[in-house]
Amino acid sequence: MATGRRIIKTVIEEFLLSIKCNYKCNEPLSKHTTFGIGGNADFFVEIQTEQQLIKLLKFIDENKIKFYVIGCGSNLLFGDEKFEGIIIKLSSNNAGEFAKVEISKECICCGAAVSLAYLAHQTAEQGLSGLEYLSGIPGTVGGAVYGNAGIKNYDISSVLQEVELINYTASKSILSKDKFNFEYRKSNIKNAIITKVKFILKKADKNDILQTIFKEQQKRMQNQPLGTKNAGCIFKNPQNDSAGRIIDSLNLKNFNIGGAEISSRHANFFINKNNASCADMLNLINFVQNEVYKKYKIKLETEIQIIK
């Protein structure tokens, strides 16, 4: 390692110790993504409080350090090479500020690190409807709002009211939903970390909501390769069609490149079957994009975030 980089790493470590956050050095990112793919990060930092986050972002900004923020790593493909910088994760530990859920009548105030599945069940138990369709999506609330997660004809922005965020230069804002643009599987939230979110739900019959959650789970168990190393749907759906149906129509289920394989259950899910590298996965993605374009002149756009 170059001496300059070693000095910078010592300075970073001293800083992380000073703000008393949990961190690991040289941490394999494969341990933090549902794909199980990714090289090591110089630093992997778990943040418990807003104050720690503000201090860390200031330090990063002042020292021009490379960083990336992850939720639960369910929609991410990291490169095979070393990540020379800091990976930040808002802690989902119950003691932390980002894991809290407060329910007051129909208003839900929720930390960004809360899992969607947990929140959907909590609100269902209170007879509150609006998040049940998202119960099967693996991910955190922050990640889901950032990527406007959803299922067909429904996305999380429809129940969103307010977003609390800290921008990359470390200042905090609380903004109502209409300050942002939410489109199919994307928002224009940029250069900021979502820390808290407010939803407005509707009163409904608890058993009906729990029934919807149950049905969603059944559908996923039938149609999706649960329990495998995947990152959900690889591609966004083209308008009025399904990327899974299109890829399937080319008979590509089970097709593999290296350790990366197209699921036999759902063709828009790619699986890390056999120690796939990021390169294997990217080759498979490119291959499918080319095949689909050759046959249908449709350009499939990735839904997963690719970080190199």
Residues that bind ligand EPU (CB under 6 A): 151-152, 223, 232-233, 236-237, 242, 244-245, 248, 266-268, 303
Our CB check for ligand EPU shows the closer of 59 and 133 to be 133
Name the residue nearer to ligand EPU (CB basis): 88 or 149: 149
Q: Cα separation of 52 and 285, whole Å?
A: 38
Report d(CA 299, CA 241) in Å as an integer. 13
What's the min distance (Å) between Cβ of 18 and ligand EPU?
39
Q: In whole angstroms, how large is the CA radius of gyration of the chain? A: 20
> CA-CA distance, 234 to 185, in Å (whole number)?
12
Measured from the CB atom, the residue of 51 and 293 that comes closer to ligand EPU is 293
d(CA 164, CA 149): 18
Please report how close the Cβ of residue 49 comes to ligand EPU at its closest, in angstroms.
Answer: 30
Please, which residue, 248 or 291, has the CB nearer to ligand EPU?
A: 248
Number of C-alpha atoms within 13 angstroms, CB side, residue 147? 25
Give the residue with the Cβ less far from ligand EPU, 90 or 267. 267
Q: State the minimum distance, in angstroms, from the CB of residue 126 to ligand EPU.
A: 24
Residue 133 or 199: the one with the smaller Cβ distance to ligand EPU is 133
Nearest to 116 by CA among 223, 243, 236, 216: 216
Query: Shortest distance, CB of residue 140 to ligand EPU, whole angstroms?
Result: 14
Q: Which is nearer to ligand EPU, 166 or 281 (CB)?
A: 281
In the complex, least distance from residue 233 CB atom to ligand EPU, rounded to whole angstroms: 4
Cβ atoms < 10 Å from Cβ of 74: 22
Dist. CA 132–CA 106, nearest whole Å: 14
Concatenating the DSSP letter of every residue in 19-88 gives: TT-EEEEEEEGGGGSTT----EEEEEEEE-SHHHHHHHHHHHHHHT--EEEESSSTTEEE-SS-EEEEEE
Closest approach of Cβ 257 to ligand EPU, in Å? 18
Give the pair of three-digit tokens for residue 180.
Answer: 């942002």
Q: Are 81 and 39 in contact (CB under 8 A)?
A: yes
151 or 175: CB nearest ligand EPU? 151
Least separation, in Å, of the C-beta of 248 and ligand EPU? Answer: 3
Contacts of 279 (CB under 8 A, 6+ apart): 80, 258
Least distance to ligand EPU from the beta carbon of 147, Å? 8
Please identify the residue of the shown chain whose CB is closest to the bound ligand EPU: 232
DSSP secondary structure letter of residue 15 = H
**b/e string for 3-25 if b means 16 or more Cβ within 10 A?**
eeeeebbeebeebbeebebebee
